Amino acid sequence: GNSVTQMEGPVTLSEEAFLTINCTYTATGYPSLFWYVQYPGEGLQLLLKATKADDKGSNKGFEATYRKETTSFHLEKGSVQVSDSAVYFCASNTGNQFYFGTGTSLTVIP
Amino acid sequence: DTAVSQTPKYLVTQMGNDKSIKCEQNLGHDTMYWYKQDSKKFLKIMFSYNNKELIINETVPNRFSPKSPDKAHLNLHINSLELGDSAVYFCASSRQGDSPLHFGNGTRLTVT
């Protein structure tokens, strides 16, 4: 069946550090892939997406590349800021069936 | 204009009561969802409606009943509330195909 697995947190980084949050998926067919961000007390917001293999999604300095060969969609940012502190969710969509990872909490300290 | 709006934002109630959460989307999407997020931030799909028809009904107690009067609205009614129902409930909507989910800001339900 379909599923999404992402690295467990919490992750704590110093400002300007490099961020990687790993995400892998299993799917029948070819899903679309997403990263969502949830700031404290708010709903989930779409951060970036990729709809086919080798697509790179990017937004606000975050990037993720759809890797079909490794079934991965790792989230990266070269230099994190305190304002990036949030929970990040990886998700897949096949035929309007969405599958979410368990979320990774990120705290960036000054 | 808010794309997916749900009310109320906070709901505090006692065990055994019945309560409703309302959700509306103005995006013209065909599909709407209810998710439950627990204290560990884990998201669980509860229901999904497409054009007012139920298409996903996960293992949810039948105390929970969704109602979709039209494709822009999906309300959630909960009977005989229990302590374990305390969580944040998110409404979401999407277009058909590869489109992402658009979430509301959540309703924090606290059952005492």
pLDDT tens digits for range B52-79? 888 877 778 999 999 999 989 999 999 9
Comparing alpha-carbon positions, the chain B residue that sits nearest to A93 is B98
Q: Is B41 exposed, middle or buried (0-12, 13-18, 19+ CB in 10 A)?
A: middle
Burial B7-34 (b: 16+ CB within 10 A, else e): eeeebebeeeeebebbbbbeeebbbbbb
B79 phi, psi to nearest 5 deg: -95, 155
Tell me the C-alpha distance between A89 and A103, whole Å. Answer: 5
Chain B nearest C-alpha distance from A45 (Å)? 7
Closest residue, chain B, to A30 (C-alpha): B98
Rounded Cα distance between B9 and A60, Å, is 28
- Encoded tokens for A39: 């700031």
Cross-chain Cβ contact B101/A46 below 8 Å: yes
What is the C-alpha to C-alpha distance for residues A55 and A58, in angstroms, rounded to an integer? 10
Q: Given 3-state DSSP classes, what are the helix, strand and coil percentages for chain B, each rounded to the nearest 5?
A: 5, 55, 40
- Per the model's pLDDT, the better-predicted residue between B56 and A93 turns out to be A93
Q: Which residues of A touch B33 (CB under 8 A)?
A: 98
Tens digit of each residue's pLDDT (9 = 90 or more) over A22-62:
999 999 888 999 999 999 989 999 999 999 999 999 999 99
pLDDT tens-digit profile of B3-20? 999 999 999 999 999 999
CB atoms within 10 A of CB B61: 12
Interface contact A94, partner B, CB < 8 A: no
In order of A50, A58, A60, A69, B16, the CA distances from B98 in angstroms are 9, 17, 22, 20, 40
Q: Which residues of A touch B42 (CB under 8 A)?
A: 102-103
Query: Is A3 within 8 Å of chain B by CB?
Result: no
Q: What is the mean pLDDT of residues B30-50?
A: 92
* Burial category of B84 from C-beta neighbours within 10 Å (exposed 0-12, middle 13-18, buried 19 and up): exposed
Question: Which of A43, A97, A105 is the closest to B103 by Cβ?
Answer: A43
* Mean pLDDT, range A101-110, rounded to an integer: 96
Report pLDDT for B1: 64
